[in-house]
Amino acid sequence: MLKVKSRIEDLAIFGGPSAFSDELHVGRPNIGQREAFLERVNDLLDRRWLTNDGPYLKQLEQRISKLVEVRSCIAVCNATVGLEIAIKAAGLAGEVIIPSFTFIATAHALDWQQITPVFCDINPATHNIDPSCVEQLITERTTGIIGVHLWGRPCDVEELQDIASRHKLKLLFDAAHAFGCSFNGQMIGNFGNAEVFSFHATKFLNTFEGGAVVTNDDELAAKIRLMRNFGFAGYDIVSSFGTNGKMSEVSAAMGLTSLESLEKFVAANYRNYKEYRQQLAEVPGVSLLTYNQDEKCNYHYIVLEIDEGALGITRDQLDGILWAENVLSRRYFYPGCHRMEPYRTRSAQASLSLRETEKLAARVLCLPTGTAVGSDEISAICDIIKFVADEGCVVKERMLKQPLRHHPLKK
């Protein structure tokens, strides 16, 4: 039963009952047809082929290549390892320019192989790496750029490609959020030297854990394929450096099943996005990140930007209020990679040149969506936000006076 708020005391943070009896998460997995998945699991158990280039993996790679309209798809155990392999196979070394406003995996995939991630500021309008800042960061040690299509919204691909070509740099994209999205009518996956999708449980399409590297460069694809399997070119023949980046058959079976429901997942996300947009349209200090509907979008993230001055409370205060109501909103990607270890210690000055990143990291809040969330939940979440907006100053005062019963950083 959803609890309605009409007085300040009704807010769970001030002692009222939580709006939701069960926790509402950002990142609840989308699950396809259970029967189809279980049939595949039975089949792979009967065949006793559990991993290592199995038939489901091959099918998944073919279907993704077709959907993304790209020459090669190499499925991997997760996007982080996918990034590590793509980085190695593309020959990156020295320094690589990436945005700081991303999941920490983008930076760690470089640092893991002694490559320095050089953090670049973002364009506040797009939340993506700002090409006009990239060029200033290029040194003689720079070998590449990794753009991140944050929230599934494409980077400024053309500008980045132009910079990479002029400076003879490799260009990769962390497309962890962007499966099923397009840029100028062309599917994400076709840009730069290679792009990497994530199929983690919390992503638009999931294989439990998983990901894929996609590329139109046949030579690079062959290298990546070898590296995914320890460099084995045949029985007893190791022809290159490699790791274990393989995707298992059960993950591939989940991927194939998820692909069959992809239209349903987009429809649910789009419906949720429209509801949030309509219900939050008039709320001062709360703006919902929009998607370009002329492109293919997966609408997988509901991203708010909070303007403290207009709303009356900070993003973190709103986060605390929502958590008390059992709405586990997320401050992705606070505080920015440059403020996380080991990068923070190495470069204490980084924040000076990352002004937009710093500002945005204090404003963004992601809300629950996906197939696990329906209209009633969205209305209840928006009602809480609207109530708080109406009572902004009073809520703020009350929060200052009273120690929080609940702490949003319980994780």
Provide the minimum distance between the beta carbon of 102 and ligand T4K in the complex, in angstroms, as a whole number.
Answer: 5
CB 206 within 8 A of CB 68: no
Q: How many residues bind ligand T4K (CB under 6 A)?
A: 23
Does the protein bind ligand T4K through residue 106 (CB under 6 A)? Answer: yes
Does the protein bind ligand T4K through residue 26 (CB under 6 A)? Answer: yes
Provide the minimum distance between the beta carbon of 17 and ligand T4K in the complex, in angstroms, as a whole number.
Answer: 21
Provide the minimum distance between the beta carbon of 293 and ligand T4K in the complex, in angstroms, as a whole number.
Answer: 23
Indicate which single residue of 2, 3, 16, 25 sits in contact with ligand T4K (rule: CB under 6 A).
Answer: 25
Phi, psi of 148, deg, nearest 5: -120, 125
Does the protein bind ligand T4K through residue 30 (CB under 6 A)? Answer: no
Does the protein bind ligand T4K through residue 176 (CB under 6 A)? Answer: yes
Count Cα neighbours of 349 within 13 Å in the Cβ-side half-sphere: 0
Stretch that binds ligand T4K, among 21-29, 63-71, 153-161, 274-282 (CB under 6 A): 21-29
* 344 CB-contact burial (10 Å; exposed 0-12 / middle 13-18 / buried 19+): middle
Closest CA to 299 of 378, 369, 199: 369
Stretch that binds ligand T4K, among 33-41, 98-106, 260-268, 397-405 (CB under 6 A): 98-106
Does the protein bind ligand T4K through residue 198 (CB under 6 A)? Answer: yes
Could you give the CA distance from residue 184 to residue 296 in angstroms, rounded to a whole number?
9
Give bridge partners of residue 215 from the DSSP assignment.
Answer: 72
Q: Is the dihedral of CA 311, 313, 317, 323 positive or negative?
A: negative
Could you give the CA distance from residue 21 to residue 67 in angstroms, rounded to a whole number?
40
Nearest residue (CB) to ligand T4K, 209 versus 305: 209
Stretch that binds ligand T4K, among 72-80, 118-126, 313-321, 357-365 (CB under 6 A): 72-80
CB 338 within 8 A of CB 355: no
Does the protein bind ligand T4K through residue 201 (CB under 6 A)? Answer: yes
Provide the minimum distance between the beta carbon of 179 and ligand T4K in the complex, in angstroms, as a whole number.
Answer: 11
Closest CA to 144 of 181, 106, 179: 106
Could you give the CA distance from residue 154 to residue 141 in angstroms, rounded to a whole number?
27
Task: Select the residue whose beta carbon is closest to ligand T4K and give its number.
Answer: 27
Both tokens of 248, joined, read 């298992």
Stretch that binds ligand T4K, among 62-70, 91-99, 161-169, 200-208 (CB under 6 A): 200-208
Q: Mask 144-173, x = binds ligand T4K (CB under 6 A)?
A: ----x-------------------------
Stretch that binds ligand T4K, among 25-33, 128-136, 238-246, 396-404 (CB under 6 A): 25-33
Indicate which single residue of 79, 337, 367, 385 sits in contact with ligand T4K (rule: CB under 6 A).
Answer: 79
Nearest residue (CB) to ligand T4K, 28 versus 167: 28
Closest CA to 189 of 208, 199, 174: 174
Phi-psi region of 306 (alpha: psi -120 to 50; beta: other; left: phi over 0): beta
Does the protein bind ligand T4K through residue 182 (CB under 6 A)? Answer: no
Tracing tokens 């069960």 back to the chain, one arrives at 22
Provide the minimum distance between the beta carbon of 239 and ligand T4K in the complex, in angstroms, as a whole number.
Answer: 26
Could you give the CA distance from residue 104 to residue 111 in angstroms, rounded to a whole number?
11
Does the protein bind ligand T4K through residue 29 (CB under 6 A)? Answer: yes
Query: Using only C-alpha atoms, what is the Rg of the chain?
Result: 22
Could you give the CA distance from residue 110 to residue 149 in angstroms, rounded to a whole number?
17
Q: What is the largest CA-CA distance in the chain?
A: 72
Q: DSSP character for 129? A: B
Nearest residue (CB) to ligand T4K, 13 versus 26: 26
Stretch that binds ligand T4K, among 88-96, 102-110, 226-234, 256-264 (CB under 6 A): 102-110
Both tokens of 242, joined, read 């490699």
Nearest residue (CB) to ligand T4K, 56 versus 204: 204
Does the protein bind ligand T4K through residue 289 (CB under 6 A)? Answer: no
Residues 322-351 that bind ligand T4K (CB under 6 A): 328, 332
Provide the minimum distance between the beta carbon of 158 and ligand T4K in the complex, in angstroms, as a whole number.
Answer: 21
Cβ neighbors of 142 (< 8 A, separation 6 or more) are 94, 95, 96, 97, 118, 167, 169
Could you give the CA distance from residue 135 to residue 310 in angstroms, rounded to a whole number?
35
Does the protein bind ligand T4K through residue 213 (CB under 6 A)? Answer: no
Give the residues lining the site for ligand T4K (CB under 6 A).
Answer: 25-29, 78-80, 102-103, 105-106, 148, 174, 176-177, 198, 200-202, 211, 328, 332
